[in-house]
Structures are given as C-alpha cells and as structure tokens.
C-alpha cells in the first residue's frame, strides 16, 4: 500500500489527542496529506459503538462483549476509513488501534492476550501499523491530567491503568521495530520533536 499508517498509544491522560493534532498540523505544513482518526468511533457505525462502550448510562459491559465491541469498531474503521485512505496514498494517524485492545482488555480487564490477538487479527485483516508511538508516563501523572467528567473506562482504578501500562511495556520489549516508547512527561512540542526525529527519515 502506498500510504503510511501511524498509531498513537498510551493510557488515558497520556496526551495522544494533543499529539494527534500537533502531528497532523506539522505534517500538513510539510505538504503531506494526513488523515487523523481515532478509536473507538472512527467510522460512521463506530460512532454508535463508541457511545455504547463509553457512556456510563449503559452500565457495566461484560468484559468479553467489551473486547468484541472494540474489535468490531476496529473492523469498521479499517474497512471504511483506514485502508481506503492508505490506498489513496495518505498518511493515516490513529489515536489508538489494536494495541489498545491488547493493553486495556488484556492488561486492564485480564483477558487472555492470545485470544485478544486472535479476535483483533481477524478484525484488522492483516493491517498492522507501520509505526506506533507509545506515550509513556507515570500512571499517577496521567490520571492527574484528566479533567472534567470521566467516561466509563476512565473511572477505573489506578491498578487497572498499571496493568494496562504493563502490557504496553511488554509490547515495547517484544516489538521494538514497530512499537516505540516516547517520554510523555515532557511538553507536547518536545514529544512532537522526538516523534519527528523518527518519522522524518521514513517520510523522505
């Protein structure tokens, strides 16, 4: 495929959303065509799934149902948004992707990573990111950054996020070519510079 697929990962409060905006602006200013997107909710149908997954009015969601809904959202996202954009040669940057499905449902919820890899591989039909930036920072710092009303997942306790972060750590160790750790304690502009140091040579 002609384009480039970049994903941003990290626990809630790690600054992915800010970085998505900064990266998009920066790459567009360099003349690239960029499609910023996110999970859950990156496709039309996904927007409905996002409400089901995050709005506390729906009460608790069974862990396995949750994992499958995130995977279904991802399948819509790949088929309707990501793959077509890559085929048009664009740079796609997604705020969360398959690694969130492993870290949150595997680490946070404690479901089998092997099973999650299977259902998610089915969902994405072979489409892995070219590169993933993991915005890493202490769990306490990240949670302190969250302001306003917290969604259903953000209401989880600190141990939930520690377990989630541990899976990200594992991914950084087992897939060092794709999954890169970035220190997210620093200011957003510094994070952007670090990301661009890696991306620059790849973009030519």
* Candidate residues 36, 46, 101, 107; the one interacting with ligand TYD per rule CB under 6 A: 101
Sign of the four-CA dihedral 17, 18, 24, 27: negative
Q: Does 17 bind ligand TYD (CB under 6 A)?
A: yes
d(CA 149, CA 3): 37
Q: Which among 132-140, 146-154, 170-178, 182-190 is the span making contact with ligand TYD, rule CB under 6 A?
A: 146-154
* Candidate residues 83, 96, 163, 181; the one interacting with ligand TYD per rule CB under 6 A: 96
* Candidate residues 45, 154, 178, 180; the one interacting with ligand TYD per rule CB under 6 A: 154
Q: Does 151 bind ligand TYD (CB under 6 A)?
A: yes
- CA 1 vs CA 87, 92, 101, 127: distances in Å: 6, 12, 24, 10
Residue in 33, 34, 35, 73 with CA at minimum distance from that of residue 52: 73
d(CA 75, CA 112): 20
Q: Does 121 bind ligand TYD (CB under 6 A)?
A: no
Interface with ligand TYD (CB under 6 A) = 12, 17, 38-40, 54, 70, 95-96, 100-101, 104-105, 151, 153-154
């Amino acid at each position: 495929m002609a384009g480039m697929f970049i994903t941003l990962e990290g626990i809630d409060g790690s600054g992915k959303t800010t970085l998505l905006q900064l990266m998009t602006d920066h790459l567009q200013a360099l003349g690239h065509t960029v499609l910023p997107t996110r999970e859950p909710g990156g496709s039309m149908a996904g927007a409905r799934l996002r409400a089901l997954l995050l709005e506390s009015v729906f009460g608790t969601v069974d862990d396995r149902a949750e994992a499958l809904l995130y995977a279904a959202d991802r399948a819509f996202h790949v088929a309707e948004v990501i793959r077509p954009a890559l085929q048009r040669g664009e740079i796609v940057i997604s705020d969360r992707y398959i690694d969130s499905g492993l870290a949150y449902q595997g680490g946070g919820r404690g479901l089998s990573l092997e099973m999650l890899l299977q259902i998610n591989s089915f969902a994405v039909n072979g489409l892995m990111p070219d590169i993933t930036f993991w915005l890493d920072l202490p769990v306490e710092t990240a949670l302190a950054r969250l302001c306003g009303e917290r969604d259903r997942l953000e209401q989880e306790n600190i141990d939930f996020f520690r377990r989630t972060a541990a899976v990200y750590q594992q991914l950084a160790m087992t897939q060092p070519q794709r999954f890169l750790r970035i220190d997210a304690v620093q200011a957003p502009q510094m994070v952007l510079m670090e990301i661009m140091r890696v991306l620059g040579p790849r973009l030519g």
